[in-house]
């Protein structure tokens, strides 16, 4: 198993490296540069040339790349051109917000999808199953940018139960923090619920047809025990894999709700940085986000080796 | 190996082994049909028999004869929907067919258990084999973890698995086919049930392993005074191991007799055909495999008359018109369903168009054939 | 038991997906199993032909209506979507404007219908691009294995890991936001998805006996891929493609949210919704957002339903229940 993990780790490293190159190149392909934004009224050709030299942006690309990469290894991802915060600082303040949002939303998604799938897979294609399945398609048809305004209109403006915007850090007040996050978290959960439910349901149905389930019945085990101890385990694998990919893609995908609900997360920061050609911020955040995705996959794989005994036994 | 019998109090009571009067299992006119898109399939169409404590019954038939459905019907392990059942199954005096799942669960595993055909799919691939054994032990015998594990190790040893202390933590995929089947036996026997239903326990195993498994089963059975029902398509398997044999065809019993009698005084042409299709070591090499021509009948619309008639070389008009009942002539142990039963291997039918051995056709599923136990007494 | 290639897969998520995708190896094994046992195995019923159901046909009907009206928009008796009647601002649905007007007096119905074009083109063409490149790569990758497989797999993983918004924003800003550009970008984003799904499916079929049989009869690789594997891979692909179409339509909407989709005044459902929710427009005139949101909801829901029903039809195992 050690060899397998080492191999995967090496892949992680290689992929991260390639991504860093791609990110860098892509960002620098954008027309325009930060000078326009920084100089503002002082935007003349001469000033621009001076600024470019100052920022080191007149060096050949590969040189800029190595400088950047070097600094990154030392933990220095650069500073924002516009507000002079360090990129690491931006990440450090933004990441907890986005992460919390994601975690909250996934907990919600699992809490709904798993019990529903367990109940429904026992009697597939009956009333409850059909209703759940059809409703799920509805969930898939409600993207965040549609749901969020509606949620705000109904629950924030209309009923006043939740705030429409605002963020309170966790250590200040845990209760308010979570309370304020509920609407944005719900807004991004719809798709996850649908995906997890469909996947788990279909997997459970197919597992329940296996011989070892009949065998377990023939041993006199209760239905509940069979569901939880025998059926759920093998079926949860695809759920795990899907969660890995889902969470990975959510990492940078929270920007819609972050913008709508004014949550200071990294999604929002990233989008703003791109629009303003804040290179270093874009590079830094993109790199971290991409690596986070790869790391999550790695962790999921690792969990697999623990949980599924059939994966590479040496 | 003595098993502890401290069962938690359920609502069902079972007398101790050996004290039960009368037959252990009574199957009475059981019918099991499945509703499908094409019609209602009558998989088991009126089967009755008895099994006594400590005895072995062999149930033999081709694919499609209904034997697996029968074993599931006895257990009560049928799908919840689209199944029509009638008839009763009495086990140790209790009517299984009238029981709810809750009560059945007290019986399953504890008094009545089943060995499945394919151990690769019947064992949970992601659970260690020790756990799968301990489950039953802890559920029915109320053992604590430590006790259960040591019992499991002993069980594995008794089924012939080497180094059981280690292997109890193994996963099914780490074992060979024969060992997996032994594990299945260990699980089935864990709580010392009175009756074990072995559904094709050796299909798919190597021939030498087959013999070992069957011998093992026989040994354990003797030790525990257990009754066994051996369901198989292979006459060779039951030849030397069953006390009585039932031959099934198209969902019904067509012949039943104690083993010796079945082989020495075969009455049904079908049974004879099964025996003839077993290749023998003594046959000259290059001899043709004898197969039974035709295919099993459609169970949705079974033919009028004897169901074997379309394939029987001795079939007469009477056979095609009316269904022969299961009856005995002379000895009450030997039942058969044929208008013109065989006597001394020869048909009593008035006109015999061709002899059985020339009726081998290429498209037939070969019934009852496999490499037989060379020590079988099947010299009809 | 998964074979070596699957166990040593560079990304086990694909392997897991490969084991779980309906209509593939597991189904075949179940069918083969059935035939080896008695025809009436009590645990498994023969195939029941379930009718598709009312909802399914409703969904098909809706999608057809949307597609037709979008395609034939020019021929339909619709008002000019970009013409603003300043004397009829923010009107509720009425006789002259069936769905009302927006804050610039433009007819909402015609904006809706013309807007459908963007969503549909982005959705379907994007998926087609993904299928052509990703799907072909997946077929070959799953069948051949070896170095090609590893390389393509790594490539697709990298594309997946890359934060898409960055790429999209960058490219849209670079190239400009036209329907063509957006479709291409989203098409490229779909390639790794199609690749993985089709590869997993192809992989599981590549090991089946009938493929080996074809090989031993001297069939060339191309022939095997086209004649043996491809037909088996199609059901899964169809379902997944439909789901992806739905996904792309959503992404277009998200891009519109960032102001990166087709530029106003050209309508797209995405930017219509955006128009309708920004700056308190929701309280002034909820209809601007309502119609496109409703239409998008129904369309997405329909597509997903159709995809699922088709999958049920093709997945014999599920049909058995």
174-213 of A, contacting B, C-beta below 8 A: 210-212
Return the bridge partners of B197, or none.
B114, B229
For the stretch C85-132, pLDDT in tens is 777 777 777 777 778 877 787 888 888 888 898 889 989 999 999 999
Of A14, A290, A311, the CB nearest to C163: A290
Distance from chain centroid for Cα B70: 9
Of B38, B64, B77, the CB nearest to C46: B38
Local confidence band at A64 (pLDDT 50, 70, 90 cut-offs) = confident
Return the number of CB contacts < 8 Å for A and B: 71
Give residue C131's pLDDT: 92
Q: Is C133 helix (H, G, I), strand (E, B) or coil?
A: helix
Alpha helix (H) residue ranges in B316-374: 317-321
Q: How far is CA B274 from CA A248, B56, B236, B238, B254, in A?
A: 62, 20, 10, 13, 13
Given a cut of 70, is residue B135 above it in pLDDT?
yes
Task: Indicate whether C255 and C289 sit together in one domain.
Answer: yes
For the stretch B342-378, pLDDT in tens is 887 777 777 665 544 444 443 333 334 443 444 433 3
Domain carrying residue C43:
1-48
Given a cut of 70, is residue B199 above it in pLDDT?
yes
CA distance A137 to chain C (A): 5
Q: Is C218 helix (H, G, I), strand (E, B) or coil?
A: coil
Given a cut of 90, is residue A65 above it in pLDDT?
no
Residue of B nearest to C2 (CA): B173
- Cβ–Cβ gap C38/B37 under 8 Å: no
- Cβ–Cβ gap B125/A220 under 8 Å: no
The dihedral sign for the CA sequence B205, B208, B213, B218:
positive
Domain boundaries, chain B: 22-242, 246-278+298-362
Of C12, C165, C250, the CB nearest to A304: C12
Residue of C nearest to B250 (CA): C38
Partners of residue B122 in chain C, C-beta under 8 Å: none
| Range among B119-128, B179-188, B311-320, B332-341 with highest mean pLDDT value | B179-188
Give residue C174's pLDDT: 67
Given a cut of 80, is residue C7 above it in pLDDT?
no
Distance (Å, whole) CA C247 – CA C11: 23
| Mean pLDDT value across residues B86-107 | 87
Distance from chain centroid for Cα C301: 12
- Cβ–Cβ gap C298/A141 under 8 Å: yes
Give residue C11's pLDDT: 30
What does the mean pLDDT of chain C come to? Answer: 73
Give residue C124's pLDDT: 92
Task: Indicate whether C266 and C221 sit together in one domain.
Answer: yes
More confident residue, A247 or B25: B25
What does the mean pLDDT of chain B come to? Answer: 81
- Cβ–Cβ gap C40/B65 under 8 Å: no
More confident residue, C19 or C54: C54
The dihedral sign for the CA sequence A211, A216, A219, A222:
negative
Partners of residue B75 in chain A, C-beta under 8 Å: 218
| Range among C19-33, C167-181, C241-255 with highest mean pLDDT value | C241-255
Residue of C nearest to A148 (CA): C277
- Specify the CATH number for the domain of residue C230: 1.10.3720.10
- Considering chain A, what percentage of its residues have pLDDT values greater than 70? 93
Task: Indicate whether C272 and C193 sit together in one domain.
Answer: yes
For the stretch B256-298, pLDDT in tens is 999 988 888 888 888 888 888 776 767 777 777 777 777 778 7
Distance from chain centroid for Cα B255: 15
- Cβ–Cβ gap A145/C277 under 8 Å: yes
More confident residue, B220 or A60: B220
Is 0.80 topped by the overall pTM?
no
Given a cut of 90, is residue A109 above it in pLDDT?
yes
DSSP string, B209-274: HHHHHHHHHHHHHHHHT-EEEEEES-HHHHHTT-SEEEEEETTEEEEEEEHHHHHHS---HHHHHH
How many structural domains compose chain C?
Answer: 2
Contact A56/C at CB under 8 A: no
| Contact indicator for B145, B133 with CB cutoff of 8 Å | no
Task: Indicate whether C76 and C41 sit together in one domain.
Answer: no
Q: Give the class (CATH, top level) of B22-242.
A: alpha beta
Task: Indicate whether C203 and C299 sit together in one domain.
Answer: yes
Task: Indicate whether C162 and C215 sit together in one domain.
Answer: yes
Q: Which of B77, B122, B191 should we substitute to test contact with A (largest number of A Cβ atoms within 10 Å)?
A: B122
Given a cut of 90, is residue A85 above it in pLDDT?
no
Give residue B1's pLDDT: 37
Partners of residue A259 in chain C, C-beta under 8 Å: 257
For the stretch B43-65, pLDDT in tens is 898 899 999 988 999 999 887 78
For the stretch C76-97, pLDDT in tens is 777 777 777 777 777 777 777 7
Local confidence band at A312 (pLDDT 50, 70, 90 cut-offs) = low
Residue of A nearest to C156 (CA): A15
**What's the length of chain C?**
321
Q: Which two tokens stand for residue C107?
A: 């007819």
Q: Which of C40, C44, C316 should we substitute to test contact with B (largest number of B Cβ atoms within 10 Å)?
A: C40
- Considering chain C, what percentage of its residues have pLDDT values greater than 90? 8
Of C13, C166, C317, the CB nearest to A282: C166
Of A270, A285, A276, residue with least CA distance to A87: A285
Contact A222/B at CB under 8 A: yes
For the stretch B297-314, pLDDT in tens is 878 888 888 888 888 888
- Cβ–Cβ gap A304/C16 under 8 Å: yes
Q: How far is CA B287 from CA B219, B277, B279, B283, B365, in A?
A: 36, 12, 9, 7, 18
Given a cut of 70, is residue B209 above it in pLDDT?
yes
- Considering chain A, what percentage of its residues have pLDDT values greater than 90? 5
- Cβ–Cβ gap B136/A234 under 8 Å: no
Give residue A3's pLDDT: 77
Give residue A36's pLDDT: 66
Partners of residue A211 in chain B, C-beta under 8 Å: 116, 118, 121-122
Local confidence band at B2 (pLDDT 50, 70, 90 cut-offs) = very low
CA distance C42 to chain B (A): 6
Task: Indicate whether C183 and C301 sit together in one domain.
Answer: yes
Q: Is B260 exposed, middle or buried (0-12, 13-18, 19+ CB in 10 A)?
A: exposed
Contact A133/C at CB under 8 A: yes
**Contacting subunits of C (3+ beta carbon pairs below 8 A):** A, B
């Amino acid at each position: 198993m050690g060899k397998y993990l080492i191999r995967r780790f090496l892949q992680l490293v290689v992929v991260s490296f390639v991504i860093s190159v791609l990110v860098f190149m892509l960002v620098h392909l954008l027309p325009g540069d930060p000078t326009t934004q920084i100089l503002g009224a002082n935007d003349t050709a001469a000033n621009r040339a001076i600024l470019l030299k100052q920022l080191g942006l007149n060096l050949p690309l590969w040189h800029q790349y190595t400088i950047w990469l070097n600094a990154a290894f030392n933990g220095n991802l650069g500073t924002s051109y516009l507000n002079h915060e360090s990129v690491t600082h931006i990440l450090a303040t933004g990441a907890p917000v986005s992460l919390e949002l994601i975690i909250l939303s996934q907990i919600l998604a699992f809490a709904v999808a798993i019990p529903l799938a367990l109940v429904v897979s026992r009697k597939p294609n009956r009333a409850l199953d059909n209703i759940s399945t059809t409703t799920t398609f509805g969930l898939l048809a409600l993207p965040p940018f549609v749901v969020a305004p509606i949620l705000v209109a109904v629950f924030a403006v209309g009923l006043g139960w939740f705030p429409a915007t605002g963020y309170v850090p966790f250590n200040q007040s845990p209760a308010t923090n979570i309370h304020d996050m509920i609407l944005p978290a719900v807004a991004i959960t719809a798709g996850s619920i649908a995906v997890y439910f469909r996947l788990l349901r279909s997997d459970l149905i197919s597992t329940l047809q296996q011989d070892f389930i009949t065998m377990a019945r023939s041993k006199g085990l209760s239905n509940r025990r069979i569901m939880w101890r025998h059926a759920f385990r093998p079926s949860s694998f695809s759920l795990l894999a899907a969660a890995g990919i889902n969470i990975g893609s959510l990492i940078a995908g929270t920007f819609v709700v972050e913008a709508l609900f004014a949550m200071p997360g990294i999604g929002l920061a990233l989008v703003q940085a791109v629009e303003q050609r804040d290179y270093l911020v874009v590079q830094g955040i993109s790199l971290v986000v991409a690596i986070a995705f790869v790391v999550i996959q790695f962790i999921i794989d690792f969990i697999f080796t623990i949980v599924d005994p059939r994966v590479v036994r040496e | 190996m003595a098993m502890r019998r401290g069962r938690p109090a359920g609502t069902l009571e079972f007398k101790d082994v050996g004290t039960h009067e009368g037959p252990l299992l009574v199957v009475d006119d059981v019918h099991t049909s499945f509703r499908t898109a094409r019609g209602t399939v009558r998989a088991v169409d009126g089967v009755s028999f008895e099994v006594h404590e400590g005895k072995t019954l062999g149930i033999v038939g081709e694919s499609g004869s209904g034997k697996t459905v029968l074993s599931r019907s006895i257990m009560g392990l049928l799908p919840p929907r689209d199944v029509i059942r009638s008839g009763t199954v009495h086990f140790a005096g209790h009517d299984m067919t009238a029981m709810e799942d809750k009560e059945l669960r007290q019986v399953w595993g504890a008094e009545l258990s089943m060995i499945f055909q394919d151990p690769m799919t019947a064992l949970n691939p992601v659970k260690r084999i020790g756990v799968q054994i301990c489950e039953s032990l802890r559920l029915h015998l109320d053992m604590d973890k430590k006790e259960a594990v040591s019992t499991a190790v002993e069980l594995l040893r008794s089924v012939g698995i080497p180094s059981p202390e280690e292997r109890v933590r193994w996963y099914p995929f780490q074992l060979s086919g024969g060992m997996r089947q032994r594990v299945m036996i260990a699980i089935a026997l864990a709580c010392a049930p009175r009756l074990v239903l072995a559904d094709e326990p050796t299909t798919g195993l190597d021939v030498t392993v087959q013999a070992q498994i069957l011998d093992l089963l026989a040994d354990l059975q003797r030790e525990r005074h257990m009754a066994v029902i051996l369901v198989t398509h292979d006459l060779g398997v039951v030849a030397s191991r069953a006390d009585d044999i039932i031959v099934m065809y198209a969902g019904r019993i067509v012949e039943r007799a104690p083993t010796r009698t079945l082989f020495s005084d075969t009455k049904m042409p079908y049974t004879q055909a099964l025996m003839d299709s077993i290749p023998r070591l003594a046959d000259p090499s290059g001899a043709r495999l004898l197969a039974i021509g035709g295919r099993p009948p459609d169970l949705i619309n079974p033919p009028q008359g004897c169901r074997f008639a379309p394939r029987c070389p001795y079939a007469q008009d009477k056979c095609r018109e009316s269904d022969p009942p299961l009856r005995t002539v002379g000895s009450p142990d030997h039942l058969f369903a044929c208008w013109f039963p065989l006597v001394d291997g020869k048909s009593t039918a008035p006109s015999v168009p061709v002899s059985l051995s020339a009726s081998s056709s290429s498209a037939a599923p070969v019934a009852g054939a496999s490499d037989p136990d060379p020590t079988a007494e099947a010299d009809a | 038991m998964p074979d070596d290639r699957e166990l040593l897969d560079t990304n086990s998520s694909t392997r897991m997906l490969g084991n779980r995708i309906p209509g593939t190896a597991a189904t075949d094994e179940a069918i083969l199993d059935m035939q080896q046992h008695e025809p009436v195995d009590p645990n498994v019923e023969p195939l029941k032909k379930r009718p598709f159901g009312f909802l399914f046909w409703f969904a098909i009907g809706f999608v057809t209506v949307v597609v037709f009206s979008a395609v034939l928009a020019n021929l339909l008796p619709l008002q000019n979507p970009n013409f603003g009647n300043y004397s009829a601002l923010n009107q509720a649905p009425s006789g002259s404007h069936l769905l009302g007007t927006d804050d610039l007096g433009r007819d909402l119905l015609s904006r809706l219908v013309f807007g459908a074009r963007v969503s549909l083109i982005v959705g379907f063409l994007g998926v087609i691009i993904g299928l052509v490149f990703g799907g072909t790569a997946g077929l070959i990758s799953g069948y051949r294995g070896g170095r090609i497989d590893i390389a393509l797999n790594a490539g697709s993983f990298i594309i997946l890991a890359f934060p898409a918004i960055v790429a999209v924003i960058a490219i849209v800003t670079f190239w400009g936001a036209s329907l063509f550009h957006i479709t291409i970008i989203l098409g490229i984003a779909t390639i790794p998805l199609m690749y993985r799904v089709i590869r997993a499916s192809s992989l599981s079929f590549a090991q089946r006996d009938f493929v080996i049989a074809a090989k031993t009869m001297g069939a060339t690789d191309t022939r095997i891929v086209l004649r043996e594997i491809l037909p088996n891979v199609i059901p899964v692909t169809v379902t997944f493609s439909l789901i992806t179409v739905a996904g792309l339509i959503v992404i277009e909407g998200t891009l519109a949210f960032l102001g990166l989709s087709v530029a106003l005044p050209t309508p797209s459902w995405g930017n219509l919704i955006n128009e309708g929710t920004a700056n308190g427009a929701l309280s002034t005139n909820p209809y601007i957002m309502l119609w496109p949101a409703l239409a998008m909801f129904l369309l997405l829901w329909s597509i997903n339903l159709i995809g699922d029903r088709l999958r049920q039809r093709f997945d014999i195992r599920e049909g058995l229940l």
